[in-house]
Amino acid sequence: MSTDNGEVVVSQEALEPLTDELKIVLKHLRHDLSSAAEDGVPDSLALEALAARTIRAIAEGDERASLVRKRIESQWTEGNARKAALIERTATLSKTTSDLESHDDSTVIWPRHAIAVAIGCWFVTAIAANLLGLRGVSAITLAGGALLFGGAAAYALYAMGVRQTASRVGAFAAVALVSAIMALAFALDDNLAAAPFAFVAACAILGCAIGFGLAEGALGTESERGRRQLLQKTRNGLAAATAELERVLPGELARSGESAKALVEVEGSHHDQAAEDFRSTASSVISRADLASRAELEALRESLTDRIRDAAQSHLTIAVRPTSTTPDSHDTTLA
């Protein structure tokens, strides 16, 4: 049921009521033509009256057809308005998608986290080392080791693709702090009496760092999560808009075009039939007339038939241009 190539396979269901109505009109018309001829009125007057009745019947049929036509035109207009809006929306969503993709916070947040946690490790570990009585080179080594290991662990996790969630941020902070504890253990290697203090300090550091990492991670990932959700929705919306443009709207617009074409065909065929009915009934009237007036009546019949055909032609107002089925086309006219 398509098409761009001009061939129309018409679903007649939508036009069925119209066709029925026209059939009724034609039936009445035939009856009028016959009865007028049988009533004994002057033949020329009867032909004039029958022609007028035929033209009126065509006009009445067209009034009904115009309702169907208005509905088709309305569908067409709405479809095209929707199409235009979708094209606009698709462009906007494409831009939004690229904006959101270019503002990938994970590239910013994670090094920032790594640096923040590493500095946190260094700061807290340095205080702990100071409290444990370590001075000078040992404290600097400890703090430097924590910084080095914490930062390295953070970047390693980032490189491994560990991203997004607060729990993973917490895990990365924990790994960084385990590194700090290792540094602490190295520093305390020759001071076993300080081991319990080191243990308590390590626990405190670990707790602080995990808390820090979780809080930072939660705050950081909240915005990142929101960005990614919006990005996903935007991609989905873009895909759906494209699908609507490519498969929903073309079908609907094609159906509107087919209906319009079918309407023209139905109208045209019924108009022709009305003219033919008039012509055949007029012929039967003429055949019954006397020989003297036949020539005059035949001339009148031809003239009236032409008038009926002109009237029928003037009512065929719907001209259909091929329906576009491509989203890029802006040929949206149903004139």
Out of 85, 131, 295, 299, point to the residue binding other proteins (CB under 8 A): 85
Regarding 49 and contact with other proteins (CB under 8 A), the answer is: no
Residue 183 Cα to chain centre, angstroms: 58
Please name the amino acid found at residue 36.
A
Contacts of 296 (CB under 8 A, 6+ apart): 44
Shortest distance (Å) from residue 267 CB to other proteins: 27
89 touches other proteins (CB under 8 A)? yes
Per CB under 8 A, 234 contacts other proteins: yes
Alpha helices in the chain (DSSP H): 16-38, 43-102, 106-131, 136-159, 166-187, 195-243, 249-288, 291-315
Segment 311 to 330, residues that bind other proteins, using CB under 8 A: none
Q: Of the ranges 140-148, 169-177, 231-239, 312-320, which one interacts with other proteins (CB under 8 A)? A: 231-239
In whole angstroms, the minimum distance from the beta carbon of 88 to other proteins comes to 7
Residue 305 near other proteins by CB under 8 A: no
Taking CB under 8 A as the criterion, the residue among 98, 223, 232, 317 binding other proteins is 232
Angstrom distance (rounded) from CA 139 to CA 145:
10
Q: How many chain residues bind other proteins (CB under 8 A)?
A: 24
For residue 237, the minimal CB distance to other proteins (Å) is: 4
Report the distance separating Cα 70 and Cα 259, nearest Å. Answer: 11
Is position 59 an interface residue for other proteins (rule: CB under 8 A)? no
Phi, psi of 147 (to 5 degrees): -60, -45
Q: Which is nearer to other proteins, 145 or 257 (CB)?
A: 257
Taking CB under 8 A as the criterion, the residue among 16, 20, 38, 78 binding other proteins is 78
Q: Is 228 in the site for other proteins (CB under 8 A)?
A: no
- Tokens 């919006």 found at: 230
Comparison of 59 and 85: residue with beta carbon closer to other proteins: 85
Residue 37 CA to residue 8 CA, distance in Å, equals: 41
| Burial classification of residue 79, based on how many CB atoms lie within 10 Å of its CB (0-12 exposed, 13-18 middle, 19 or more buried) | buried
Taking alpha carbons only, the member of 135, 83, 70, 43 closest to residue 330 is 83
Nearer to other proteins among residue 85 and residue 200 (C-beta): 85
Judge contact between 279 and 305, C-beta under 8 A: yes
| 237 lies in the binding site for other proteins (CB under 8 A) | yes
Tell which one of 251, 279, 309, 325 touches other proteins (CB under 8 A). Answer: 251
Compute the C-alpha angle 14/330/89, nearest 5°. 95
Interface ranges with other proteins (CB under 8 A): 78, 81-82, 84-86, 88-89, 92, 96, 230, 232-234, 236-237, 239-241, 243-244, 247-248, 251
